[in-house]
């Protein structure tokens, strides 16, 4: 070792480097020793004939500067062989890295142009990842200079990163045919009739290969998942018509196997630290309780959801009191924290409560580069210990494995939104046990929301958590979950009825 690298660093330095780059360490280690991975799980339970074709596919890694895990190599090869697919790996398994591996292979074997379409919040992250892990050039087609950037991409090739909103505004040659189109957070185009859906289809039709990325490809009903498959392999989607009398969830997974690969964290990341989820149940005090009752009587569902924070003094909010305790405990233990809320007013209160301990709030109105700056500040030595973020802005795409404590200020309508947010911290590269705390109030909208979250999570588990299983099931294919409007009306009516009988 001394001959190769000089005097070995101290143990503390080694561990700090491992914490910062553990995904790279494990990727390299997996090339040397067996980490105990489940090889069948790495193949997503695909049919044997598909697995044989995938394993026979070479993967040119000459332009790649990263060590891929076995399941990541399989995912990249699957995308190359099947050509137009959904990579539905659970969040935190490195779908971006697998996409970069596909792009690097195609460019190394003669391809020139790669197009990445993603939410604005992760544009900067995509550019960073491409340039850090490959020799490919990355150009951002977003902002005031997007047309000049697009012109450079047309001439020079490489990986262009743009957003759903900008895609249709770009002035690009009609004969430009990307070797690969990657659509990140592809559930954003689950409705093909929207403007963004039509633009994605237009570009997908002219691209040689298409890779949809979505760890949550179905939020409310299976029909939305069918729409996503239809962009890629219409013949497969045609077999998923709910009126065709399919035999249920297991048959559904078998049919979509040619277009859908999914692996789950517990199956392929044997080293991933444990995740501990805690429901922090509180009771309303006089002030926050009065705010909640007023919101119910006013018929204001959103005010009900944030009533626990409708106080002028933090000491009058049971949730803020508990939040401060959790953050103090985490910081004292040397941990970093992410606090999520849907509501801007709640984020401002949390920022006031935490002061210099926190950076943020990261909201949808924060410019994309500044979002990454906030995440970087959380990772910096001596920086803030807490990132305060709107769940719809910071819960998608960003990698925040510097944090190992996640706090939700209120339950969300869609369980997939919470799952995405948790996966910002509990992902490949995390070295600490991840603690997830949900601030909840008994006998309130929170309690009903948690019950509803459980039922909607079960829907995804039944249909899309695994890639392919052969046993049949009698359940219907098109199972719709309640809409947000229906939920709000139901919960509001229940709470008004309950409080009318509560002294």
What tens digit of pLDDT does each residue of 299-355 get? 999 999 999 999 999 999 999 999 998 999 888 878 899 999 999 999 999 999 999
Residue 347 counted as domain residue: yes
DSSP for 175-233 reads T---SEEEETTGGGG--TTSHHHHHHHHHHHHSS-EEEE-S---SS-HHHHHHHHHHH-
Say yes or no: 308 and 255 in one domain. no
What's 321's domain CATH number? 3.40.50.300
For the chain, list residues with pLDDT below 50: 219, 243-247, 467-481
Residue 52 counted as domain residue: yes
Q: What is the pLDDT of residue 468?
A: 42
Q: For the purposes of burial, counting CB atoms within 10 Å of the CB of 413, is it exposed (0-12), middle (13-18) or buried (19 or more)?
A: buried
Say yes or no: 288 and 243 in one domain. no
Say yes or no: 297 and 239 in one domain. no
Residue 46 counted as domain residue: yes
Say yes or no: 42 and 137 in one domain. yes
Could you give the C-alpha distances from 488 to 24, 156, 284, 298, 495, in angstroms and in order? 45, 51, 21, 13, 10
* C-alpha neighbours within 13 Å on the C-beta side of residue 355: 4
Domain count across the chain:
2
Residue 102 counted as domain residue: yes
Which domain-ending residue is among 386, 412, 441? Answer: 441
* DSSP classification of residue 480: P
Measured CA to CA, the distance from residue 449 to residue 443 in angstroms comes to: 11
Say yes or no: 259 and 396 in one domain. no
Say yes or no: 218 and 332 in one domain. no
Q: What is the pLDDT of residue 221?
A: 63
Say yes or no: 34 and 131 in one domain. yes
Measured CA to CA, the distance from residue 192 to residue 203 in angstroms comes to: 13
Residue 448 counted as domain residue: no
Say yes or no: 159 and 254 in one domain. yes
428: left (phi over 0), alpha (psi -120 to 50) or beta: beta
Read off the pTM.
0.61
What's 130's domain CATH number? 3.40.50.10810
Residue 479 counted as domain residue: no
pLDDT tens, position by position, 342-359: 999 999 999 999 999 999
Q: What is the pLDDT of residue 469?
A: 27
Say yes or no: 45 and 117 in one domain. yes
Residue 290 counted as domain residue: yes
Residue 8 counted as domain residue: no
Say yes or no: 405 and 262 in one domain. no
Say yes or no: 354 and 389 in one domain. yes
The neighbouring-strand residues paired with 161 are: 116, 140
Which domain-ending residue is among 247, 268, 289? Answer: 268
Say yes or no: 332 and 225 in one domain. no
Its domain, for residue 355, covers 275-441
């Amino acid at each position: 070792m001394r001959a190769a690298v000089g005097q070995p660093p101290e143990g503390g330095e080694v561990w700090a480097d491992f914490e910062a780059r553990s995904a790279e360490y494990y990727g390299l280690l997996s090339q040397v020793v067996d980490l105990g991975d489940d090889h069948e799980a790495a193949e997503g339970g695909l049919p044997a004939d598909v697995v044989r074709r995938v394993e026979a596919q070479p993967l040119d890694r000459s332009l790649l500067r990263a060590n891929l895990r076995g399941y990541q190599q399989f995912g990249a090869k699957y995308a190359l062989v099947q050509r137009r697919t959904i990579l539905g790996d659970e969040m935190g398994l490195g779908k971006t890295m697998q996409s970069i591996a596909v792009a690097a292979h195609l460019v190394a074997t003669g391809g020139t142009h790669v197009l990445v379409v993603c939410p604005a919040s992760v544009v900067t992250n995509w550019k960073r990842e491409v340039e850090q892990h490959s020799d490919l050039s990355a150009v951002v087609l977003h902002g005031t200079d997007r047309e000049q950037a697009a012109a450079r991409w047309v001439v020079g090739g490489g990986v262009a990163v743009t957003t759903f909103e900008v895609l249709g505004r770009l002035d690009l040659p009609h004969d430009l045919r990307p070797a690969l189109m990657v659509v990140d957070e592809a559930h954003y185009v689950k409705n093909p009739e929207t403007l963004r859906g039509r633009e994605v289809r237009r570009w997908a039709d002219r691209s040689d290969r298409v890779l949809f990325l979505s760890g949550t490809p179905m939020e409310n009903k299976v029909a939305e998942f069918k729409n996503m498959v239809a962009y890629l392999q219409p013949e497969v989607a045609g077999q998923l018509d709910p009126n065709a009398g399919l035999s249920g969830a297991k048959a559904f997974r078998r049919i979509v196997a040619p277009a859908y690969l999914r692996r789950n964290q517990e199956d392929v990341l044997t080293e991933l630290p444990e995740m501990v989820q805690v429901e922090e149940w509180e009771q309303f005090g006089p002030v926050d309780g009065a705010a909640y009752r007023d919101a119910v009587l006013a018929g204001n569902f959103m005010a009900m959801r944030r009533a626990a924070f409708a106080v002028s003094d933090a000491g009058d909010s049971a949730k803020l009191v508990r939040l401060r305790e959790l953050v103090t405990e985490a910081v004292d233990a040397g941990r970093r924290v992410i606090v999520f809320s849907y509501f801007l007013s709640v984020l401002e209160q949390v920022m006031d409560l935490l002061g210099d301990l926190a950076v943020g709030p990261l909201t949808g109105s924060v410019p994309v580069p500044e979002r990454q700056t906030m995440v970087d500040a959380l990772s910096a030595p001596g920086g803030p210990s807490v990132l305060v973020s709107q769940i719809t802005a910071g819960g998608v795409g960003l990698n925040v494995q510097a944090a190992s404590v996640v706090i939700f200020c209120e339950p969300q309508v869609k369980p997939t939104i919470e799952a995405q947010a948790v996966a910002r911290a509990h992902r490949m590269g995390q070295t600490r046990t991840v603690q997830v705390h949900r601030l909840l109030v008994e006998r309130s909208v929170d309690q009903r929301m948690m019950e509803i979250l459980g039922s909607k999570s079960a829907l995804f588990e039944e249909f899309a958590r695994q890639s392919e299983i052969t046993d049949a099931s009698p359940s219907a294919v098109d199972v719709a979950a309640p809409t947000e409007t229906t939920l709000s009306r139901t919960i509001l009516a229940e709470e008004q009825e309950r409080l009318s009988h509560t002294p």
